[in-house]
Amino acid sequence: MSEGKAKHLIVISYDAFSEDNWEKASRLPNLSRLIENGASSTKLKSVYPTLTYVVHTTMMTGVYPDKHGIYHNNPFQPFVDEEDQAWFWFRKEIRVPTVYDALKKHKMKSAGILWPVTGKAAIRYNMPEIKAIGRENQALKIFKNGNPLFCTRLELKYGKIRKGIEQPYLDEFTVLCGRDTILSKKPELLLIHFIDLDDAKHHHGTDSSEIDKVLIRMDERIGKMMEAVTEAGISEETVFMVLGDHGQKNVRYKVRLNQLLKEDGLIYEENGVMHWRAYLQSTGGSAYLHVKENDEEAKQRALRILQKAAEEERLGIEKIYTGKELERFHACPVSGCMLEAKMGYSFDDSITGPLVTDLKEENKTYATHGYSPEKPEYGCCFVVSGSGIKKGYQLEEIHMVDIAPTIAAILGVEFGPCDGRVIKEIFSM
């Protein structure tokens, strides 16, 4: 082990916390304290596609999706409704080492509260983010895939606060679990995931008054975590890292491009069962083209359809990425083709309903992510503050792959090789 900067590190994933929120959030009491006593950036560049599970896996591994293998929130499940789909919940689906694995080797304690892709992970105190589908029991599913004693204790103490996944109750439950974990376990690394902002942006758009209310609630949650560190008597040896995973963009038009593949017979029904030769798996702001193995004819037909569709303004295709262009993003090569949506557009997998829906006509507000990290004004926010960190330091552009090696350096743990670097300029010595 090398010399670390702090004994404890609390990583707060502030889902969807992006540069458009900085001005208001940075003036609130708790975050502003962390900023004054630390280093910060509004130019943390995410990975492609900008989906929560893809990005959180990069945060923990320091590598791009083409290496870690988590390419979407959901494995590919054609014709299954979104609410019934399985997600990439389990650690075993990550192809490379994680920073919490490195801590375990050094006999250091890590804890996770609703952190993505940590089912059955080597995290000592683990309540993974995992959802019951079909007839599964939610509590049982968490206990089976996390640390049963840890989860049971927190569930008995705070479970009544939660109302399923409804906000702000879910994040209120999460912050109480986080506080309790700091006070009772004092882990060297605590990973905690808050979803209130992401949820509000999806439902109300990125510029509604709801967002201001969430920023205040989030600042209060950060404050509660800071108070817990003080109460636990470890504030002098603790670093806080608060970061967003992606931004969101307002959407006016939802486009269902699979209907074009269906019209061409690449998606079809046979004896009452749906089949596919080519199928688009949407991420919201982009989409993967999946083609059945060795079906070159289907691939060429699908590409011709999509290239023709890209010429139609109303279908919202900004770019079709293939080959070297796609490699440049280090996107996971589950398909040789990805579509990027234009601003104001998002893609939807559905093979029913209109080809294009105008949400404004339906009086609906909606925002989403999954776009290229190179979209304008789409940077994530990053704050690191505490023991051994420069005060009031402004960072230039940093990358999501830099997070894992920097976590390891703060705690003095060897980690790598990876695609990112240690953000050494944050350290005061």
- Output the pLDDT for position 419: 98
- Output the pLDDT for position 335: 85
Range of the domain at 262: 250-368
Whether 3 maps to a domain, the answer reads: no
Q: In terms of C-beta density within 10 A (0-12 exposed, 13-18 middle, 19 or more buried), how is residue 212 classed? A: middle
Query: Are residues 282 and 335 part of one domain?
Result: yes
Query: Are residues 406 and 296 part of one domain?
Result: no
Of 368, 389, 406, the residue at which a domain comes to its end is 368
Query: Are residues 261 and 242 part of one domain?
Result: no
Both tokens assigned to 196:
């209130």
Query: Rounded to an integer, what is the distance from CA 248 to the centroid of its chain?
Result: 12
Q: What percent of the chain has pLDDT over 70?
A: 100
Please confirm whether the linkage preceding 168 is cis (ω < 30° from 0): yes
Question: How many helices, marked H, and strands, marked E, lie in the chain?
Answer: 14, 19
**Over 60: is that where the pLDDT of 133 sits?**
yes
- Residues forming a β-bridge with 290: 279
CATH of the domain at 313: 3.30.1360
Over residues 218-228, mean pLDDT: 98
Query: Are residues 203 and 257 part of one domain?
Result: no
Whether 210 maps to a domain, the answer reads: yes
Q: Place 110 in a pLDDT band, splitting at 50, 70 and 90.
A: very high
Query: Are residues 215 and 67 part of one domain?
Result: yes
- Output the pLDDT for position 72: 98
Radius of gyration of the chain (CA): 22
Q: Place 140 in a pLDDT band, splitting at 50, 70 and 90.
A: confident
Query: Are residues 163 and 15 part of one domain?
Result: yes
Q: Place 160 in a pLDDT band, splitting at 50, 70 and 90.
A: very high
CATH of the domain at 217: 3.40.720.10
Indicate the number of domains in the chain.
2
Residue 45 CB partners (closer than 8 Å, separation 6+): 373, 379, 380, 397, 398, 399, 400
Over residues 377-406, mean pLDDT: 97
Q: In terms of C-beta density within 10 A (0-12 exposed, 13-18 middle, 19 or more buried), how is residue 310 classed? A: middle
Of 318, 342, 368, the residue at which a domain comes to its end is 368
Both tokens assigned to 118:
């940590």
Of 368, 395, 410, the residue at which a domain comes to its end is 368
For 1-59, how does the pLDDT look when each residue is reduced to its tens digit (9 = 90+)?
A: 568 899 999 999 999 999 999 999 999 999 999 999 999 999 999 999 999 999 999 99
Whether 2 maps to a domain, the answer reads: no
Both tokens assigned to 300:
């060429």
Query: Are residues 107 and 24 part of one domain?
Result: yes
Query: Are residues 381 and 265 part of one domain?
Result: no
Query: Are residues 352 and 211 part of one domain?
Result: no
Over residues 250-273, mean pLDDT: 97
Query: Rounded to an integer, what is the distance from CA 358 to the centroid of its chain?
Result: 27
The CA distances from residue 84 to 28, 132, 134, 164, in Å, are: 38, 9, 7, 16
- Output the pLDDT for position 103: 97
- Output the pLDDT for position 1: 56
Whether 1 maps to a domain, the answer reads: no
Q: Place 139 in a pLDDT band, splitting at 50, 70 and 90.
A: confident
What residue has token string 């944050």?
A: 426
Q: Place 255 in a pLDDT band, splitting at 50, 70 and 90.
A: very high
pTM: 0.98
Over residues 231-249, mean pLDDT: 98
For 316-346, how does the pLDDT look when each residue is reduced to its tens digit (9 = 90+)?
A: 999 999 989 899 999 988 888 999 999 999 9
- Output the pLDDT for position 135: 87
Whether 315 maps to a domain, the answer reads: yes
Query: Are residues 114 and 52 part of one domain?
Result: yes
Query: Are residues 383 and 340 part of one domain?
Result: no
Q: What percent of the chain has pLDDT over 90?
A: 93
Mean pLDDT of the chain: 96
For 165-214, how does the pLDDT look when each residue is reduced to its tens digit (9 = 90+)?
A: 899 999 999 999 999 999 999 999 999 999 999 999 999 999 999 999 99
Query: Are residues 129 and 112 part of one domain?
Result: yes
Identify the helix (H) or strand (E) that includes residue 25.
helix 22-25
- Output the pLDDT for position 256: 98
Q: Place 97 in a pLDDT band, splitting at 50, 70 and 90.
A: very high
